[in-house]
């Protein structure tokens, strides 16, 4: 057995414990709708690739630390939860970014996960902390501990949600451009999704910075989602599809930080974003 084969099998064995049961559910209705509107490449992953992607996302968002599964970043108006740091707004916050935690919880419920009792009974389903200060005061209480434990035990299914979210996003993204530009956009996605590293980049970026379709996710009229990155890809020049994607993402995120009103985006967040893009590589 070669060293590469041995490493692959070892990774699969170790990560199976972390991501058991994380195969995403099929959604034929969404797949058919997507096929009707635009040519979109399929995201196909084996268990080793899926495990590797889940580990990468968890490391990016939480430094692979379970304590970070329930978190509230300084400078933000919402907590970030789970391996993908899914956004959950308090009831009186109408933020510009697409909320994802409620959809993730619905997905987990559909997969048979048993929610903490207080979470299942929450109505309306809004984050129960009004702001970061209130959250920090409650962060060692029983509800937060229960939520953190629940999210730690469902990491595998959360990866399934990330994949499903990306699959559904691709059709919307391709369909959002004029018909004359769809084929080129689809070709770029096809080139990316041929390799595990490219699939990881697509899945992570959709979770990390969104699809790029929401009009509220704009600074000076310019978005920063997957659509904008794909549109900014410079093809050719002896670059792989993943290299070109990574460079375009760096330009898009730098533009966002420069257009932002909050200095924290330029001074603190941008360096972290650019470091994250460096992980968009093929598995070793």
* Structure confidence by residue, pLDDT tens digits, 204-217: 999 999 999 999 99
| Cα 102 from Cα 166, distance rounded (Å) | 16
Place of tokens 């595990």: 196
Backbone angles phi, psi at 58, to 5 degrees: -60, -40
pLDDT of residue 49: 85
pLDDT(223) > 50 = yes
Q: Which helix (H) or strand (E) holds 58?
A: helix 47-62
The per-residue pLDDT of the chain, averaged, comes to 86
Higher pLDDT, 205 or 237: 205
| Cα 220 from Cα 59, distance rounded (Å) | 32
pLDDT(182) > 80 = yes
pLDDT of residue 39: 66
pLDDT of residue 35: 39
pLDDT of residue 30: 40
pLDDT band for position 92 (50/70/90)?
very high
Mean pLDDT value of segment 172-188: 92
Reported as a single tens digit per residue, the pLDDT across 114-162 is 999 999 999 999 999 999 999 999 999 999 999 999 999 999 899 999 9
CA 202 to chain centre: 9
pLDDT of residue 109: 96
pLDDT of residue 217: 96
Within 10 A of 132 (CB to CB), how many other CB atoms are there? 16
Reported as a single tens digit per residue, the pLDDT across 6-60 is 333 433 433 333 344 444 444 433 443 343 445 677 887 888 888 888 899 999 9
């Amino acid at each position: 057995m070669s060293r590469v084969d041995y490493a692959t099998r070892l990774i699969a064995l170790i990560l199976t414990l972390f991501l058991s049961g994380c195969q995403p559910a099929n959604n034929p209705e969404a797949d058919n709708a997507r096929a009707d509107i635009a040519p979109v490449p399929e995201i196909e992953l084996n268990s080793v690739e899926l495990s590797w992607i889940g580990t990468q996302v968890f490391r990016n968002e939480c430094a692979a630390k379970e304590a970070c599964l329930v978190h509230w970043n300084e400078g933000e108006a919402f907590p970030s939860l789970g391996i993908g740091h899914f956004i959950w707004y308090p009831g009186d916050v109408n933020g510009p970014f697409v909320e994802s935690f409620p959809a993730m919880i619905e997905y987990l419920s559909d997969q048979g996960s048993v929610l903490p009792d207080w979470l299942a009974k929450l109505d309306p389903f809004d984050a129960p902390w009004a702001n970061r200060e209130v959250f920090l005061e409650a962060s060692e209480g029983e509800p937060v501990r229960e939520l953190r434990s629940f999210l730690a035990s469902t990491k595998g299914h959360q990866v399934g949600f990330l994949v499903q979210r990306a699959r559904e996003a691709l059709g919307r993204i391709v369909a959002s451009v004029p018909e004359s530009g769809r084929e080129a956009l689809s070709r770029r996605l096809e080139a990316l999704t041929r390799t595990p590293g490219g699939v990881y980049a697509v899945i992570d970026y959709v979770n990390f910075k969104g699809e790029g379709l929401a009009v509220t996710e704009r600074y000076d009229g310019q978005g920063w989602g997957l659509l904008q990155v794909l549109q900014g890809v410079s093809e050719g020049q002896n670059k792989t599809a993943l290299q070109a994607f990574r460079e375009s993402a760096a330009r898009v995120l730098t533009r966002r930080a420069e257009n932002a009103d909050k200095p924290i985006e330029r001074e603190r967040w941008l360096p972290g974003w650019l470091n994250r893009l460096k992980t968009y590589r093929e598995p070793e």
